Structure 1
Amino acid sequence: MENFQHSSATYFNRELALIEFNRRVLAQARNPDLPILERLNFLIIFSRNLDEFFEIRVAGLMKQQDLNAITRMPDGIPTDVVLSELSTIVHQAVQQQYEIFNHSILPQLQGFGIHFIQYQDILEKHKAWIANYFAKQVQPVLTPISLDPSHPFPRLVNKSLNFIVSLEGKDAFGREIEMAIVPAPRSLPRLIHLPESVVGNHQEQIFLTAIIQQHISDLFPGMKATGCYAFRVTRNADLILSEDVDDLAVALKDELSSRRFGRAVRLEIEDDCPREITDYLLNQFDLDQEHLYSISGPINLSRLTTSFARPDLKYPVFNPVIPKAFRKQQSIFEILKKEDVLLHHPFDSFQPVISLLREAAKDPNVLAIKQTLYRSGPDSEIVQALAEAARNGKEVTAVIELRARFDEESNITVANVLQEAGAVVVYGIVGYKTHAKMILIVRREDQQLVRYAHLGTGNYHAGNAKMYTDYGLMTTQPDICEDVHRMFQELTGMGKMAKLKTLLHAPFTLHTELLKLIDQEIACAQAGKNARIIIKVNALTEPQLIAALYRASQAGVKIELIIRSICCLVPQLEDLSENIRVRSIVGRFLEHTRVYYFEQGGEKKLYCASADWMGRNLFSRVETCFPILDSKIKKRILQDGLLNYLSDQKGTWELQSTGEWIPAYVAPDEVPHSAQEFLISKSLQKI
């Protein structure tokens, strides 16, 4: 298996697989069965995903190209070929995005009395209000920059909105200035509500770009603006830290400042901009035509958040349910002594996790609290509870991963908040991101020290817990708690790898044990026993695991993969992967659970984990994988978290051997099953 040689026939390119996921997100915006504001939200999500795709993935490929580096990806496709294919696919997707926005979303919103005013939509009735707003709220914070020998092209921040203006005439110093740059201040809202006195009972928002374009000539007295075109440059935003830094927080702060001005990787500009101006900008940013995206509408739809109070145009309101075990006015510690509790977010509320920490912070019998934090935020109730516990004299240890992408600044602030409260803050291991989700509470009970643990598949972020599907296990099982204790010792101290009794953990045992579990399934199949593997993760890219799954398929193991985004495995290939089916589910909530199921001849081993099946998770991160030992909880995860999703038809896409994703087939007279809607309904029945 280790000698299995992948090629483009057995391994889909990672970047191409990721852009296919984003196209599945975009498809949701076309779905007429969804509420119109939710369709708009999927367009916004697509824009945000695409931003990160360029900042990280495309930027990495362009860096390889600049360095003439030979690709080491298992598919073996040259970097320039991948970039060319991505350019074609993304240009088509962006064109589709704006066709949906202009010809479907906007007209339907207007039918509901909601209007977005762009420059070409400004009416006479708007102009007086716009002029007043521009003069009082916008012009004082604008800084026009002329382009001439004494004013070279400015250094523009990553993803900032700017205007390039073509001019005629002479300025106050008698200079003939042909062009200028006007940055749009980020301190101003992208959308501004128009008052009822102007629009009556309609709900109208006007784009900041429209206001600036309407009055662009006001910025250049005595000159004439002959054109004004919004544009945005996207830059490389990946952070690279040396492993020999003296202070990770200080090094990260320094690196964050450079992120704003990394190498340009994409230029977006309004599609009516003349060719000579776009060529000028491409030259300034050292980009080619394939990096140019001519936009037919507002640039950067990710800023297109609305504040319209129209619940009728959104999903029905769903409030996560407090599990039955926690509804009594009883100590959470007393509840967990009796039974393990499984939380399935967002169907189950995240509140019990917060309540556990709050109670621990106040409980005089609690001696210590240890927790990993990957994405939280200084204002989160989790962080506030930990700070309170530290102020109350508890031994609080927080392992904060400062390098959680695009949350670095927030995590530095969290670290400062906790340190000021008296907590011990460590940043994990340089070179290995701490991605594990763990809480350990030590409590004195009857002269004994008792441990309570929480292990999860997702971050300790209350907001995400309402939008992402994740599992959290609250337990007092001694072996699991002892393993969590040893993992914290491993993270905060120095020494040899911790020997764990029940948990699997990366970068040490997880990958090896997963290969063993697959081999055991192969042995079951060869012995004529029940053999089945079900894996639900966000991404599958690790070459050795893919090779092992191919071997399992060849041995007759039935393999069902539920992969949200990237899947590099090629399914349904004769004599290789014909027993493997791959599906992806895109729905109301972001699928984020990581569950591994192995039939094992009827033994039914089931694990939840923080790790996807990617090289970075298995070799470059600290991850946890915890077995589900309670039979009731195991049955619940198997039924609700796996089999339920394998029955989904409403949000499911199936991967073909060609790399194409097609929607799940639904018979004409059949009501399609939705896994997420089923779980919402099941939760509401528990109230």
Structure 2
Amino acid sequence: MTQIMPNLEDFQHSSDTYINREISLLEFHKRVLAQAKDANHPLLERLNFLIIFSRNLDEFFEIRVAGLIKQLDMNSITTSPDGIPNEVIIQQISEIAHQALEEQYKILNYDLLPQLQGFGIRYIQFADILEKHKAWIKDYFFKQVQPVVTPISLDPAHPFPRLVNKSLNFIVTLEGKDAFGRQIELAIVPAPRSLPRLVKLPNELTGGEEHYILLSAIIQQHISDLFPGMVATGCYQFRVTRNADLTLAEDVDDLAVALKDELSSRRFGRAVRLEVTKNCPNDISHYLLEQFDLDPMHLYQVDGPVNLARLVANFDIPELRFKPYQAVIPKALRNAPQIFEVLSKRDILLHHPFDSFAPVINLLKEAAKDPNVLAIKQTLYRSGPDSEIVQVLAEAARNGKEVTAIIELRARFDEESNITVANILQEAGAVVVYGIVGYKTHAKMILVVRREADKLKRYVHLGTGNYHAGNAKMYTDYGLMTTDADICEDVHKIFQELTGMGRMAKSQKLFHAPFTLHAQLLNLIEQEIQHAQKGLVARIIIKVNALTEPKLISALYRASQAGVKVDLIIRSICCLRPQVTGLSENITVRSIVGRFLEHTRVYYFQNNDDAKLYCGSADWMGRNLFSRVETCFPIEDKKLRKQIVEDGLLNYLKDNVRAWELDGNAQWTALKPNTGEAAFIAQQYLMDQRVIKTIA
């Protein structure tokens, strides 16, 4: 264990007690990449993890690295609790990212692609083109590609073009003169964004196997044909990543209009990364760096396609995929004629994707058609215009229900989609509100108001994840369906708070960010500290996606020093240093990276013999606790509470296959079963248990 003993009075963090957030996030992306070389995963799933890593890294540069570079450009002094200057962090990120990318392409070129070829799956790059391919490629190029390609010569009349964020481009070296007698040495060829990046070769060329040729290879094969009378002496792929974060003033008149204006500028933000193919000459790479105003540390030379995220193809080879899993309907709802009748008698807990998302949709469907339902209110963070939920809400509005949708337009990279959702619902007659400027509405809430025996009764769904049926098949999340009067009243007040201009909603049972959640979490930690100081058994188990908030980290350090056993299950970012003598020796931190994306937020406090358990929409980050509207709800039913503790917490603490542990030096280590110990995968256990219960 690392030896540190800080002064905890008026505790101030430093790099000794606080792991840098950006480095921690990058380490999570490396854990995802590690899945791509894990031979225990099916082959196509490994390729999928490689693609997910590419997408994650793109967003990391677009948002996190872009933010650091922006601060440097503005000569802004870092305020991160670790105290490390931004320029140092950027350099560290560059070193780690370069190593990770080199590893990524090694996995692709020397592991995945050769194995895929054994199953008849080939990705044909420029160097892989065979003589038998050339006639078909030529025909495709002149019929499908050449008519939409726009080569741009670089000369005084044609300055370096503005290139869209993450677009595929080629820089071409030329010899000869053009039609006007000009000596052109360089040109840019943007790959048409309207064309697929993967093109399936016809069966007569492949013998019925799955062979895909990259669009980049087709263009490179005929690059000289884009410059008649000239010769292309070199053709090199490159891609620039830009700042894609959006900045909105708090005094905008119309949030939707302001967002539309910002979305158009996202494509041309400040450059933060340049990717070029490995064979690109140094002078060409440096020329591109100058055009994008980037230092050499931001240059990434890759041994293959510059955008691996485009390697997605639909391969129908079941043995190379995870075994299909069919989510189950909870027993209480399987044969129930009406969901309202069930909820009137008991709470229902859903654990996705092990439990089906269908009951959430069915609740809304019944509400949309039930003549006794008067109103439906719902928050929407990421749903999509094609979502069944959006269609059902629109139907409910057309059926005369009072439908209110709180749509968070600023959900990152879903802004445009959410604007479309808002338009669909408004046209159907729903009341659409965009939340509070300056505070993202991240809470997951549904409220249904129904007339029963001349009284109004409320039905509520609260969740840890978005109302997105696709995500519910890939993300682990909890959802509680209840008619508890106090919880329903709290949800009603929060909806009023979001649509009106009244005072802060005073809740009975819910904790509510940005108002009470942070303080209540500190109080719950303090209670465990007091129990430990009295000699009582004290324990905290927290499962969230990220832990960055400095005061909560300080409180957990104090809890450890008081003797509280603290287990943290953190999917991605963890700024706390565990297992440090005198500071955090009673704290363990683990991360589960597996088939499903871990997304549940669960907070457990032993509270002597009267355990308190909460689920919520908030991670333990400053943005969630102070800059977002979040809800945290208690699980009071003893049976449901036991289910969450056993399935959602203790189960994950037993995982010895998909778990990684963090040490005091900020190093993550993949766990393996000890000699003689049985392998245990938490997610697989939950799938197996659902199957057993369904059969029973």
TM-score by length of 2: 0.98
1:651 aligned partner? 658
Name the SS of the counterpart of 1:112 in structure 2. coil
Match of 1:588 among 589, 595, 612: 595
1:528 alignment partner AA: G
- For residues 339 and 510 of structure 1, what CA distance do their matches in structure 2 show? 27
Name the SS of the counterpart of 1:482 in structure 2. helix
Shift of 1:314: 0.7
Match of 2:529 among 522, 525, 529: 522
Shift of 1:230: 0.7
Match of 1:71 among 78, 86, 89: 78
1:574 aligns with 2:555: no
2:4 aligned partner? none
Match of 2:227 among 181, 199, 220: 220
Shift of 1:670: 2.6
1:391 aligns with 2:391: no
* 1:281-680 correspondence to structure 2 within 5 Å: 281-680=288-687
Contact 2:125 2:213 in 1 (8 A): yes
- For residues 318 and 210 of structure 1, what CA distance do their matches in structure 2 show? 37
Contact 1:607 1:627 in 2 (8 A): yes
- For residues 334 and 663 of structure 2, what CA distance do their matches in structure 1 show? 46
- For residues 98 and 668 of structure 1, what CA distance do their matches in structure 2 show? 33
Contact 1:554 1:575 in 2 (8 A): yes
Shift of 1:300: 0.9
Deviation per residue, 1:86-136 (Å, 9 max, x gap)? 100000000000000000000000111111101000001111111111111
Name the SS of the counterpart of 1:564 in structure 2. strand
Shift of 1:595: 0.0
2:30 aligned partner? 23
Deviation per residue, 1:541-578 (Å, 9 max, x gap)? 00000000000000000000000000000001111100
- For residues 668 and 37 of structure 1, what CA distance do their matches in structure 2 show? 30
Contact 1:22 1:49 in 2 (8 A): yes
2:580 alignment partner AA: L
Name the SS of the counterpart of 2:438 in structure 1. coil
1:207 aligns with 2:214: yes
Shift of 1:137: 1.0
Shift of 1:72: 0.4
Contact 2:243 2:269 in 1 (8 A): yes
Deviation per residue, 1:254-283 (Å, 9 max, x gap)? 011111100000000111011111111000
Report the aligned-residue RMSD: 0.8
- For residues 665 and 99 of structure 1, what CA distance do their matches in structure 2 show? 24
1:52 aligns with 2:59: yes
Name the CA shift for 1:165/1:121 in 2 (closer, same or farther; >3 Å). same
Contact 1:505 1:625 in 2 (8 A): yes
- For residues 577 and 593 of structure 2, what CA distance do their matches in structure 1 show? 20
Residue ranges of structure 2 left out of the alignment (5+ in a row):
1-7
Name the CA shift for 1:327/1:421 in 2 (closer, same or farther; >3 Å). same
2:400 alignment partner AA: G
* 1:166-315 correspondence to structure 2 within 5 Å: 166-315=173-322
Match of 1:120 among 118, 127, 141: 127
Deviates more, 1:66-75 or 1:634-643: 66-75
2:50 aligned partner? 43
Shift of 1:2: 8.0
- For residues 660 and 634 of structure 1, what CA distance do their matches in structure 2 show? 33
Contact 1:534 1:642 in 2 (8 A): yes
Name the CA shift for 1:671/1:530 in 2 (closer, same or farther; >3 Å). same
2:95 aligned partner? 88
Shift of 1:669: 3.0
Deviation per residue, 1:205-247 (Å, 9 max, x gap)? 1111001100111111110000111110000000010000000
- For residues 592 and 602 of structure 1, what CA distance do their matches in structure 2 show? 28
- For residues 101 and 537 of structure 1, what CA distance do their matches in structure 2 show? 31
- For residues 28 and 440 of structure 1, what CA distance do their matches in structure 2 show? 39
- For residues 633 and 71 of structure 1, what CA distance do their matches in structure 2 show? 44
Deviates more, 1:454-463 or 1:122-131: 122-131
- For residues 211 and 537 of structure 1, what CA distance do their matches in structure 2 show? 45
2:410 alignment partner AA: R
Name the SS of the counterpart of 1:204 in structure 2. strand
2:56 alignment partner AA: N
1:671 alignment partner AA: A
- For residues 190 and 330 of structure 1, what CA distance do their matches in structure 2 show? 48
2:169 aligned partner? 162
- For residues 607 and 428 of structure 1, what CA distance do their matches in structure 2 show? 24
2:3 aligned partner? none
Name the SS of the counterpart of 2:572 in structure 1. coil
Name the SS of the counterpart of 2:325 in structure 1. coil
4+ long deviations beyond 2 Å: 668-671
1:392 alignment partner AA: N
2:274 alignment partner AA: L
Contact 1:2 1:544 in 2 (8 A): no
Shift of 1:201: 2.7
- For residues 152 and 327 of structure 2, what CA distance do their matches in structure 1 show? 50
- For residues 682 and 188 of structure 1, what CA distance do their matches in structure 2 show? 45
Name the SS of the counterpart of 1:206 in structure 2. strand
- For residues 2 and 209 of structure 1, what CA distance do their matches in structure 2 show? 60
Shift of 1:3: 2.0
Name the SS of the counterpart of 2:53 in structure 1. helix
Contact 2:174 2:231 in 1 (8 A): yes
Name the SS of the counterpart of 2:301 in structure 1. strand
1:424 alignment partner AA: V
Name the SS of the counterpart of 2:294 in structure 1. coil
1:686 alignment partner AA: K
Shift of 1:668: 3.2
Name the SS of the counterpart of 2:113 in structure 1. helix
Name the SS of the counterpart of 1:405 in structure 2. coil
Contact 2:445 2:463 in 1 (8 A): yes
- For residues 623 and 426 of structure 1, what CA distance do their matches in structure 2 show? 16
1:265 alignment partner AA: V
Contact 2:336 2:342 in 1 (8 A): no
1:682 aligned partner? 689
- For residues 545 and 86 of structure 1, what CA distance do their matches in structure 2 show? 26
Contact 2:657 2:672 in 1 (8 A): no
2:5 aligned partner? none
Name the CA shift for 1:212/1:398 in 2 (closer, same or farther; >3 Å). same
- For residues 52 and 68 of structure 1, what CA distance do their matches in structure 2 show? 24
Shift of 1:329: 4.7
- For residues 359 and 243 of structure 1, what CA distance do their matches in structure 2 show? 39
TM-score by length of 1: 0.99
